[in-house]
């Protein structure tokens, strides 16, 4: 085998890529560069760094962007961004102080007054709020589409707005939180291309928090931009808030310039924690998925459970199953279950869990359970909520890295408590 042709997998590069120990006293791990500003060798150098950072000229062929000021760049930020690029094979990455700041920066950069936005529904509550309450203030109209809409349905909905020529962005979150409904990324690429013109692109942006960066690479399916709440799987330890955007260079240049002026980049300390998290990202996510599979399969026919929503339980031959197989390399580690009964039964179940913690958020090493109808999606319109399948008996589980048998035991004993409560009521 030719050594030169060998390409290391991302998980092999997470411990070293983009960091030169000789620049930091030989330290095996990058120190935290807790500094606001960087000393220029000469005034000419400072001028050259700013020219590139502010887009006054393109970077020369072998030129590297020099360090200026920690709102613009910082070694911890750059090492992290370079490593994140490896998973999605993107040109560039920008890390933010939260998932919401990553998402809102993308929406603000690529939408302007008069534009039309198409977005998948349900989306994360914060995203929903930004789209439905903040974007209208700057004159951006939006249309929500669901997983059960066909390509023809969506085109009809776009035409009905009378603003089809103003379509500027399609924004997807898939699988949907909390129902695990899957959206077809490549179909949305085709819809976007139908409405692009010579002087107007239609940007396809995908929130890949649930599946990435390991199990889905949206750019392979036609996405222009990929967004993450790095608070979730990427951080993975429920001890930080962060976000990331990845994509092609021309789009990322715009994202990074807006980030510079909004000042919503992640701090050196947060970046350092995320760099540490990346070393175990694949290990953690794979274990979480194995555990989720075991949990979903154990409870799929349980007498106290109406339905388990998990990608591996999708029926072969359905449209959702086809999208799942085409788009994802794993069923993921998020499960939603419908407990038989209503809010009372769902709450009893949640209150009886011991190993699972009752908390929102997801993707961390510890398993979490929550009630979307009254918690993460409490603000969603009640009628729309039912259409999306966010019922009062739905419980969302984020599966962690604990022993699978212990997780199964915990769910079993909580279900027994629910049945005892019901027996007593009879
Ligand atoms: C949590 C989450 C967000 C928001 O991220 P923050 O880091 O909390 O700002 C966005 N999208 C999805 C799918 C999420 O789960």
The answer to whether 248 and 106 have CB atoms below 8 angstroms apart is no
The answer to whether 88 and 140 have CB atoms below 8 angstroms apart is no
Which residues touch 343 (CB under 8 Å, ≥6 apart)? 371, 373, 374, 392, 393
Distance 176 CA to ligand 1 centre (A): 12
Structural domains of the chain ordered from first start: 9-98+229-279 (3.40.640.10), 106-219 (3.40.640.10), 281-425 (3.90.1150.10)
Distance 129 CA to ligand 1 centre (A): 12
Q: In what order do the strands lie in the sheet with 243-247?
A: 92-96, 243-247, 225-229, 203-207, 167-173, 116-120, 141-145
Mutate to test the pocket of ligand 1, among 104, 128, 231 (most ligand atoms within 8 A of CB): 231
Which residues touch 28 (CB under 8 Å, ≥6 apart)? 21
Does the structure show a pLDDT above 90 at 164?
yes
Mutate to test the pocket of ligand 1, among 120, 124, 244 (most ligand atoms within 8 A of CB): 124
In angstroms, the CA 358 to CA 370 distance is 6
Q: How confident is the model at residue 2 (pLDDT cuts 50, 70, 90)?
A: low
Distance 386 CA to ligand 1 centre (A): 22
Distance 124 CA to ligand 1 centre (A): 7
Cα 22 to its chain centre, rounded Å, is 34
User: Considering the entire predicted model, what is its pTM?
Assistant: 0.95
pLDDT tens for 220-257 read 999 999 999 999 999 999 999 999 999 999 999 999 99
Does the structure show a pLDDT above 90 at 57?
no
CA nearest 402: which of 251, 295, 329, 300?
A: 295
Q: Which atom of ligand 1 is nearest to the CA of 362?
A: 15
Q: How confident is the model at residue 125 (pLDDT cuts 50, 70, 90)?
A: confident
Residue nearest to atom 8 of ligand 1 (CA): 99
Least confident of 27-31, 145-149, 182-186, 386-390: 386-390
Q: What is the mean pLDDT of residues 182-199?
A: 97
Please report the pLDDT score of residue 384 as a whole number: 84
Does the structure show a pLDDT above 60 at 1?
no
Least confident of 31-45, 56-70, 234-248, 356-370: 56-70
Residue nearest to atom 12 of ligand 1 (CA): 124
Residues within a 6 A CB radius of ligand 1? 98-100, 124, 126-127, 173, 177, 207, 209, 229, 231-232, 241, 243
Q: Which atom of ligand 1 is nearest to the CA of 103?
A: 10
């Amino acid at each position: 085998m030719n050594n030169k042709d060998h390409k290391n997998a991302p998980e092999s590069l997470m411990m070293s890529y983009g960091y030169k120990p000789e620049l930091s006293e030989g330290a095996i791990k990058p120190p935290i560069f807790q500094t606001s500003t960087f000393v220029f060798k000469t005034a000419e150098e400072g001028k050259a760094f700013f020219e590139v950072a502010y887009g006054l000229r393109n970077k020369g062929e072998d030129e590297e962007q020099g360090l200026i000021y920690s709102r613009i760049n910082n070694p911890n930020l750059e090492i992290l961004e370079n490593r994140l690029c490896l998973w999605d094979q993107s040109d560039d990455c920008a890390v933010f102080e939260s998932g919401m700041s990553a998402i809102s920066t993308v929406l603000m950069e690529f939408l302007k007054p008069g534009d039309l936005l198409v977005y998948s529904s349900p989306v994360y509550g914060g995203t929903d709020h930004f789209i439905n309450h903040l974007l209208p203030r700057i004159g951006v109209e939006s249309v929500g589409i669901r997983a059960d809409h066909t390509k023809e349905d969506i085109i009809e909905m776009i035409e009905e707005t009378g603003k089809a020529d103003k379509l500027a962005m399609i924004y997807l979150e898939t699988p949907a939180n909390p129902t695990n409904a899957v959206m077809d990324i490549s179909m949305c690429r085709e819809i976007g291309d139908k409405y692009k013109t010579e002087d107007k692109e239609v940007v396809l942006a995908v929130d890949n928090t649930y599946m990435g960066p390991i199990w889905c690479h949206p750019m392979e399916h036609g996405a222009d931009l990929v967004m993450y709440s790095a608070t979730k799987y990427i951080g993975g330890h429920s001890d930080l808030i962060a976000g990331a955007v990845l994509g092609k260079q021309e789009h990322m240049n715009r994202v990074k310039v807006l980030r510079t002026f909004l000042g919503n980049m992640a701090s050196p300390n947060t970046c350092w924690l995320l760099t540490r998290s990346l070393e175990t990202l694949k290990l953690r996510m794979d274990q979480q998925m194995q555990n989720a599979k075991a949990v979903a399969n154990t409870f799929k026919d349980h007498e106290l459970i109406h339905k388990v929503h998990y990608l591996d339980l999708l029926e072969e031959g359905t449209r959702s199953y086809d999208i799942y197989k085409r788009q994802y390399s794993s069923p993921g580690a998020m499960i939603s279950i419908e407990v038989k009964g209503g809010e009372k039964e769902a709450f009893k179940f949640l209150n009886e869990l011991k190993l699972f913690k009752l908390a929102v958020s997801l993707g961390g090493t510890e398993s979490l359970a929550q009630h979307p109808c009254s918690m993460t999606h409490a603000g969603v319109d009640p009628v729309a909520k039912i259409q999306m399948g966010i019922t009062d008996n739905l419980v969302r589980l984020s599966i962690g890295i604990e022993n699978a048998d212990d997780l199964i035991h915990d769910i079993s004993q909580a279900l027994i408590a629910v049945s005892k409560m019901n027996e007593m009521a009879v």
